Amino acid sequence: MQKSVERSFDAIVIGSGMTGGWAAKELTEKGLKTLVLERGREVKHLQDYPTMNMAPWEFKYRKLDSHQVKEEYPIQSRKYNFSEASKHFFVKDNEHPYHFPEDKPYWWFRGYQTGGRSLIWGRGAYRWSDYEFDVHRTDGHGVDWPIRYKDIKPWYDYVERFIGVSGSKEGLEQFPDGEFLEPVKLNCVEVEIKKRIETQYPDRTLIPNRIAHLTKVKPGQFKGRSQCQNRNMCHRGCPFGAYFSSNSSTLPAAQETGNLTMVHHAIVESILYDEQKDRASGVRVIDAETQEVTEYYARVIFLCASTIPSTAILLRSISNRFPNGLGNTSGVLGHYLMDHHKAVGGSGMFEGMLDKTYYGYRPTGVAIPRFVNLKVKESSFSRGYGIWGGASRQGLHFDQEGIGEELKSKMTKQGPWYFSLQAYGACLPYYDNRIELDYDKKDPWGLPMVKISAEFKENEFVMRRHMEEQVREILEVAGLSNIQTFASEPIHGDSVHEMGTARMGRDPETSFLNGYNQSHEVPNLFVTDGTAMTSSGHMSPSLTYMALTARACDYALRQMKEGVI
Amino acid sequence: MKRREAIKWTTFWAGAGLVSPAVITALQSCSRGEKKPDWNPLSLSDEEVKRLEILGDIIIPKTDTPSASQVRVAEFIDLIVADVLSKSQGESISHVLTGLGKVKVTGGVKPLEDMETAEQEDTVRKIDMESYADEKKDLWDEAFLKDYRYLKSLILMAYYTSEDGVVKNLEYVVIPGDYQPCIDISDNGKIMVGNHM
C-alpha cells in the first residue's frame, strides 16, 4: 500500500488521450501536481512504435487480418486503419466486452494505452463555427450551447499553435480559418476539379484538408517534433512526430514540468464524492493487472476518458446524494449519444492528365466544406454535412487481363486518375440513444458491463439521400466518367466521434455541464472529452475537444486561485 | 523453385555435354510430382502447390525481374489459405487448382503439369482471355473463370507485396520528404510505393 501522501495530488486527470494529454499539460504547466490515470499499457513516443518502419513483406500476413486476429478483434478489425501494422494500438474486443441490442449494432473503436486514440486518429483538425454553436436557436433540437465561437476562438488559436495544423485560409464563415501551417498541396487533377466546382457553384469550394501535421516546423515550438515526410504511415506511430498525438506532444510537455505522475493499468472504478464538502474528493482505481484497489485524492478532477468510459465512470459513481450517477440529478447522463453518419460517397474516373503525377504519399486529401443549411435552409432536414476526398492515380491493380511479360510491364505503370468523395453528416441528439450499465453482466474487473443502444433516425436518413445526390452532382460537375455513388447502412460508432452523453448547457435541469465543462452540481469536476458535446456538428471534433479542455483548465485554475474550488 | 532452376541449368549443361542423360531423366521425373516442395505446405496438397507454382510462373515469369516462384508466391498463398482466407475463398483456390489437373485436350483431359511449357502457357492464356471476355465461349464454366480471376489477383498481390516484387519492379521510395503535387510522369511511368502499401 502506498503512503497517503503519495496518493494526494492537486489534480487528477482520468485518461491520457486527446483531452487527457491537454489537461495534463495545462495543469502541470501552471504548477499543479497532477496524476494522470491511464487504463491501458504504457506506449512511449518512438520507443514503442514497433512497426513504424516496417515494410509490407516484413508482416507475416502482409497486413491482412488472420482468423485469430478477427476472432480477437471482431469490431476493431473493421476500422480502415486497423491491420497487422497497427493492431497493438487497438483493444482486443474479447478482453473488453460491451453489448448492444441485436437490431442496433454499435461499433466501439478503442485504444487503451498512453495517448489513447490520439495515436490512431484521422488527424482532421477543424474549427467549428456559430453555425454549430448557435444551431439550437435555428432548429430547436437538443439544447443551446452555453458558448459561442468567440468564447472558444482564443483557445482554438492556443491549441493550434502548439499542435500544428496545416490548412489554407479561405475566409468561410462556416469553416473558420485558424493559425495554419502551410496547407498540404492539391495535385493537378484536384486543382482542375476545384476550378470546375467553383465555376459551377458560387457557394462551394474544394480546399486542402486541414490536418494536425507539421508541414513546416517552427523552431522550438513542438518539443522535438519534425516535419511530415509524406510516408502516410501515421497509424503506426510517427518516427518524426509529425502528426499530433499526446505521446509526441502534450504528455512530454507535461513531463518536462516535473509535476506529472502517470499511472498505467489504472481503471477508474468511480469518482469519490465527499458529501460534507459537497465536492469530488478523489478516485477509486482498480489495477488492470493485479485487481488491487487504490484510492487517490485531489482538489480537482478532469474526466477525459473518452465518451463511453467517462459516462460509465460517472454512472458508477453513486452516493446518497447522487444515486443515479455523480452530478446526475437532471438525469441526462448517458442520453443523447451522437456520432457522425458516414458511408455515403462516390467516385469516378478523370480522363486526361496522364502525363502528370505527384511525388510522395500525402497523408490526407481535400475537403468540400459544408454548403447546406447555412443562410438558406433546407426544408427536408436539419443541420449539415461536409465532403472529403481526393484524386490519385490508380496504383497496383490486381484484377486485370493478361499474363506473362506483357502483364508484368502493364502492372507497374501508373493507371488513370480517379477522384472520390465521402460525406459525413450531423446527428441529432436523441434521448433514447444512450449508454447504460448492465449490472447483470460484469466485465473482467467485476464492473457492470456497458450497454450501448443507438440508431440514426429520419433526419439523418433524409440527409443521406441529399448527400448522395450532391456527391453525384459534384462528380458530374467535375467532369468524371464511370461515376458510381453509394449510401450504405450507417452504423453508430463507425465514425469514432461518439459524444454528447453529459452535455454542456445553460440549464442544470437539461444539461450536465456548464459553459466551462464544469459539473453543474459538483464544481471541482470537469468533463472535457466528447461526453460534453451539446451537438454533434459534422466535422471531426478533436480540435474542439482540445480547445475546450485547455479553456476548462484555465477556468479551473482561476477558480482554485479564488478558492471557489 | 530450385527444382525448376535445376532443370533449366541441367538442360543447359546437358547441351554442353556436361551432364549425363540419366540425370536429366531423374530431374524431369521429379518435376512430375514425386518431389515435395522445399517448404511444408499448411493447407494445399503437394499437387496443388505444384500447379500453383506453374500457374504463378506463367502469369509472372522471370524477366529482368524475378518470377512468382522466386519470391515464393505459392508459399504465401498457402499460408493465407490456412490462416487468413475464408473457407469459401480457400475452396475457390482449390477449385482452380483441381480444374487445372484436368484440362480438356484433344482426346481427353490432361493435368497442367504434364504439358510442355508452350502448351501450359497456351492453356493459361486461353483461360485468362476468356475470364475477361464479355462473351464466354463455354470452354470453361463461369464459376471456374471467376475463381481463376480471384486466384490470379492473389498471385499478383502476393508477388507485388514481396520484397523483390516491390523493390525490383516498382519505384520504391520509403521516405519521400516533400510532397510534390504536380510533376511530369517519368518515362517508365512506374508506380511509386513506400512501406504504407
Under an 8 A CB cutoff, do B176 and A411 touch? no
- B163 contacts in chain A (CB < 8 Å): 55, 57
The answer to whether the CB of A529 falls within 8 A of the CB of A303 is yes
Under an 8 A CB cutoff, do A185 and B181 touch? yes
Q: Tell whether A174 is covered by a domain.
A: no
Question: Same structural domain for residues A350 and A269?
Answer: no
Q: What share of chain A is helix, strand, coil (3-state, %, to 5)?
A: 25, 20, 50
The closest of B166, B160, B174, B171 to A357, measured between CA atoms, is B171
Distance of CA B92 to the CA centre of its chain: 16
Calculate how close chain A gets to B39, using CA atoms only, in Å: 16
pLDDT the model gives residue A191: 98
pLDDT the model gives residue B136: 74
pLDDT the model gives residue B35: 59
Question: Same structural domain for residues A352 and A382?
Answer: yes
Burial pattern B129-164, b for ≥16 Cβ within 10 A else e, equals ebbeeeeeeeebeeebbebbbbbbebbbbbbbbbee
Q: Tell whether A153 is covered by a domain.
A: no
Q: Tell whether A194 is covered by a domain.
A: yes
Under an 8 A CB cutoff, do A403 and B184 touch? no
Calculate how close chain A gets to B82, using CA atoms only, in Å: 9
- Residue A141: CB atoms within 10 A of its CB come to 15
B117 touches chain A (CB under 8 A): no
Calculate how close chain A gets to B1, using CA atoms only, in Å: 17
Distances in Å between the alpha carbon of B131 and those of B127, B142, B151?
Answer: 6, 8, 12
Calculate how close chain B gets to A193, using CA atoms only, in Å: 14
**Rounded distance between C-alpha atoms, residue B30 and residue B34, angstroms:** 5
pLDDT the model gives residue A220: 52
Question: Same structural domain for residues A44 and A77?
Answer: yes
- A189, closest residue in chain B (CA to CA): B182
B190 touches chain A (CB under 8 A): yes
Q: Average pLDDT of A162-175?
A: 97
Q: Average pLDDT of A39-64?
A: 98
Which CATH number characterizes residue A195's domain? 3.30.410
Q: pLDDT class for A538, splitting at 50, 70, 90? A: very high
Calculate how close chain B gets to A184, using CA atoms only, in Å: 8
Under an 8 A CB cutoff, do A404 and B132 touch? no
- Three-state secondary structure call for residue B95: helix
DSSP letters, B170-191, are: SEE-S---S-EEEEEPPSS-BP
pLDDT the model gives residue B138: 75
Question: Same structural domain for residues A299 and A412?
Answer: no
Which CATH number characterizes residue A301's domain? 3.50.50.60
Under an 8 A CB cutoff, do A412 and B191 touch? yes
First to last CA, chain B: 27
Number of folded domains in chain A? 2
Under an 8 A CB cutoff, do A414 and B191 touch? yes
**Cβ-Cβ contacts under 8 Å for A25 (sequence gap 6 or more):** A250, A251, A253, A254
Helix (H) or strand (E) holding A34: strand A34-37
| Residue of A65, A356, A405 lying closest to B182 (CB–CB) | A356
Q: pLDDT class for A472, splitting at 50, 70, 90? A: very high
pLDDT the model gives residue A219: 61
- Residue A410: CB atoms within 10 A of its CB come to 13
Under an 8 A CB cutoff, do B185 and A68 touch? no
Q: Tell whether A275 is covered by a domain.
A: yes
- Full-model pTM: 0.93
Q: Average pLDDT of A226-252?
A: 96
- B90 contacts in chain A (CB < 8 Å): none
Q: pLDDT class for A156, splitting at 50, 70, 90? A: very high
User: Percentage of chain A with pLDDT > 90?
Assistant: 97
Question: Same structural domain for residues A363 and A464?
Answer: yes
**Cβ-Cβ contacts under 8 Å for A206 (sequence gap 6 or more):** A186, A190, A193, A194, A197, A198, A366, A367, A368
Q: Tell whether A113 is covered by a domain.
A: yes
Question: Same structural domain for residues A445 and A462?
Answer: no
pLDDT exceeds 70 at position A243: yes
- B124 contacts in chain A (CB < 8 Å): 403
pLDDT exceeds 80 at position A221: no
Under an 8 A CB cutoff, do A405 and B61 touch? yes
The whole domain housing A81 covers: 4-123+245-338+437-453+497-561
Q: Tell whether A177 is covered by a domain.
A: no
Condensed to tens digits (0 to 9), the pLDDT of residues B177-194 reads 999 999 999 888 999 999
| Residue of B63, B162, B189 lying closest to A57 (CB–CB) | B162
DSSP letters, A338-379, are: B--EEEEEEEEEEPS-TTEEEES--S--EEE---SSSSSPPS
Condensed to tens digits (0 to 9), the pLDDT of residues B29-66 reads 344 444 578 899 999 999 999 999 999 999 999 999 99
pLDDT the model gives residue B13: 38
Calculate how close chain B gets to A539, using CA atoms only, in Å: 25
In this predicted complex, what is the ipTM? 0.93
- A72 contacts in chain B (CB < 8 Å): none
Calculate how close chain B gets to A354, using CA atoms only, in Å: 8
B168 touches chain A (CB under 8 A): no
pLDDT the model gives residue B31: 44
| Residue of A67, A358, A401 lying closest to B183 (CB–CB) | A358
pLDDT exceeds 60 at position B4: no
Under an 8 A CB cutoff, do B84 and A185 touch? no
pLDDT exceeds 60 at position B16: no
User: Percentage of chain B with pLDDT > 70?
Assistant: 82
Angle at B25 between CA B21 and CA B26, to 5 degrees: 115
Calculate how close chain A gets to B106, using CA atoms only, in Å: 24
Q: Average pLDDT of B142-162?
A: 98
- A403, closest residue in chain B (CA to CA): B59
Locate A417 and state its grid cell.
486518375
B112 touches chain A (CB under 8 A): no
Question: Same structural domain for residues A486 and A542?
Answer: no
User: Percentage of chain A with pLDDT > 70?
Assistant: 98
**Domains in chain B: boundaries:** 1-35, 38-162
**Rounded distance between C-alpha atoms, residue B57 and residue A530, angstroms:** 54
Condensed to tens digits (0 to 9), the pLDDT of residues B106-129 reads 889 999 999 999 999 999 999 999
Q: Tell whether A485 is covered by a domain.
A: yes
Q: Average pLDDT of A537-563?
A: 98
- B161 contacts in chain A (CB < 8 Å): 56-57, 62
pLDDT exceeds 80 at position B8: no
Locate A7 and state its grid cell.
496518493
- B168 contacts in chain A (CB < 8 Å): none
Condensed to tens digits (0 to 9), the pLDDT of residues A281-318 reads 999 999 999 999 999 999 999 999 999 999 999 999 99
Question: Same structural domain for residues A385 and A277?
Answer: no
Q: Tell whether A533 is covered by a domain.
A: yes
Average of per-residue pLDDT values in chain A: 97
DSSP letters, A508-543, are: TTT-SB-TTSBBSS-TTEEE-SGGG-SS--SS--HH
Q: Average pLDDT of A139-151?
A: 98
pLDDT the model gives residue B197: 84
